[in-house]
Amino acid sequence: MSQSRTPSAAPPPAPERSRVTANVVRGCLGNLVEWYDWFAYATFSIYFASVFFPEGNQTAQLLSTAVVFAVGFFMRPLGGWLLGAYADRFGRRRALTLSVTLMSAGSLTIAVAPGHDTIGFWAPVLLVLARLAQGLSVGGEFGSSASYLSEVAPAGKRGFYSSFQYVSIVMGQLAALLVAIVLQNVLTDDQLHGWGWRIPFVVGAVAGLVVMYLRRTMEESEHFEQEQARKAAQGPDSRERKGLIALFAEYPRQLLAVFGLAIGGTVAFYTYTTYLQKYLVNTAGIPKDTVTLIGFAALFVYMCMQPAVGALSDRIGRRPVMFAFSGGCMIITVPLMSLLGRTDSPWAAFLLMTFALTFVTGYSALAAIIKAEMFPTKVRALGVGLPHALVTATFGGLTEPIALGLKDAGHENLFFWYVTGCAGLTFLATLLVREPSRASHLETGPASGASPEPARAVPLS
């Protein structure tokens, strides 16, 4: 849709490297804490299920905690909407501070909440409220964080710096796993069930308060500040569209592109990180403690690959890297998952898992920047966060249920083709989208609420 151009301010001057690094670190620390808290619930639910739900069948108790986990998952689109709009209106720094505060409050609630034996019905209610807050937090974190990291990074290095978003996400997952390993080796099983499960949530709550302070000291993005100056110059009588209205009316194709790019990456990420560890136990028959070590080692290597692939995208463009991810996953998923299901060698499982995650890095290292480049400052956090949260809540949240349901029905191999098909959708979206780094709103005047050019406003060919 053609639009009249609004005079755009010049892009902000390149910030000093030390300032960029300091702001990126403070932004990523919050990401780490939020994802630590998110995975801590999944990791320790087996220990606190009996505390919050009435005595009875253990499977029913675990199912109840899983349902509460799903409630948090499906709050993520609401968080992507509300906190994304908040970030676009009041600033990335304030949104990121609010996000980590919500996560810390949720962890603290779980850590100190009395059990069902003490307060009855209110115990699971408190647990649900805590997960609602955490779901809002995680849902809003991605868009705000992706926008902030992309905006504070210098031109030509945005892929490198924004890739640290997934470094911090995986580091949070590893931190939760490490705490679990330590507590399982220090405390007895009875102690973990009795009170030890509260420790990781206390750690998360305290860490969240520290990060909340650090985020309050972050510099605001100059892109956002120039956007605020542009709005102030227009005056209070401006009829410019805002929020969801602007997003759906002015950038519908960008939204569709983000959906398409996110589907394959989200399904592959959850397949080769969280679900694969269950697959190695249930199908390959590798012992649980060995699988934990395999997963920890493979995720560590995966985490370290993010900046290298992000930097590569700065040199050769985003599309070639996304083609390598989506095309590679379409080729390797069926044979690789079949091999993993038949192996009993921990080393072979580690190498195959790492090989798969190498392809997934092609998506995760670019997940922030490739989406942030498609939207102007006025709707960037919302445009990135809302579709990403919707895809994560649906495709990401359903990855394990679909896999386990097909296994239970005796058609486990169909799941491999499902993952392949989702990667195919991302391949198609990458085929249709213009090179985001060359049509980037981040490089064409951050203060411009209008599209820089009609041809660049629409990322699809």
Q: What is the pLDDT of residue 311?
A: 95
Q: Where are the domains of the chain?
A: 17-232+241-457
> Of the candidates 160, 142, 147, which has an alpha carbon nearest to the alpha carbon of residue 224?
147
User: pTM for this one?
Assistant: 0.82
Q: What is the pLDDT of residue 428?
A: 95
Q: What is the pLDDT of residue 8?
A: 45
Residue by residue, pLDDT tens for the chain (461 residues) are: 334 444 444 455 555 667 778 888 887 887 888 788 878 887 787 787 777 777 655 555 555 666 666 677 778 899 889 998 989 888 888 898 898 888 889 889 989 988 878 887 788 888 888 888 888 888 888 888 888 888 888 888 899 999 999 999 899 989 988 898 888 889 888 888 888 989 999 999 998 888 888 888 888 888 888 877 887 777 766 667 777 888 888 888 889 999 999 999 999 998 998 888 888 888 888 887 788 889 889 999 999 999 999 999 999 999 999 999 999 999 999 999 999 999 989 999 999 999 999 999 999 999 989 988 888 888 898 989 899 889 988 888 788 888 888 888 888 899 999 999 999 999 999 998 888 777 677 776 544 444 443 333 334 44
**Ordered DSSP codes for 308-355:** HHHHHHHHH-HHHHHHHHHHHHHHHHHHHHHHHHH---HHHHHHHHHH
Q: What is the pLDDT of residue 55?
A: 65
> Of the candidates 375, 387, 383, 373, which has an alpha carbon nearest to the alpha carbon of residue 450?
375
Q: What is the pLDDT of residue 272?
A: 92
- Answer for the pair 362, 309: CB distance below 8 angstroms, yes or no: yes
Using one digit for the tens of pLDDT, what is the confidence trace for 186-217?
988 888 888 898 999 999 999 888 888 888 88
One-letter amino acid of 265: G
Q: What is the pLDDT of residue 51?
A: 78
**What residues contact residue 415 under an 8 Å CB cut-off, 6+ apart?**
337, 402, 403, 406, 407
Q: What is the pLDDT of residue 63?
A: 56
Tokens of 448: 């411009």
Q: What is the pLDDT of residue 455?
A: 32
Return the H-helix or E-strand segment holding 71: helix 58-74
Half-sphere exposure of 421 (CA within 13 A, CB side): 8
Q: What is the pLDDT of residue 414?
A: 94
Provide the β-strand partners of residue 392: none
Q: What is the pLDDT of residue 445?
A: 52
Three-class secondary structure of residue 5 per DSSP: coil
Q: What is the pLDDT of residue 273?
A: 86
Helix ranges (H only) for 374-411 are 380-391, 399-408
Using one digit for the tens of pLDDT, what is the confidence trace for 311-328?
999 999 999 999 999 999
What CATH class has 17-232+241-457? mainly alpha
Measure the CA–CA gap between 213 and 101, rounded to whole angstroms. Answer: 10
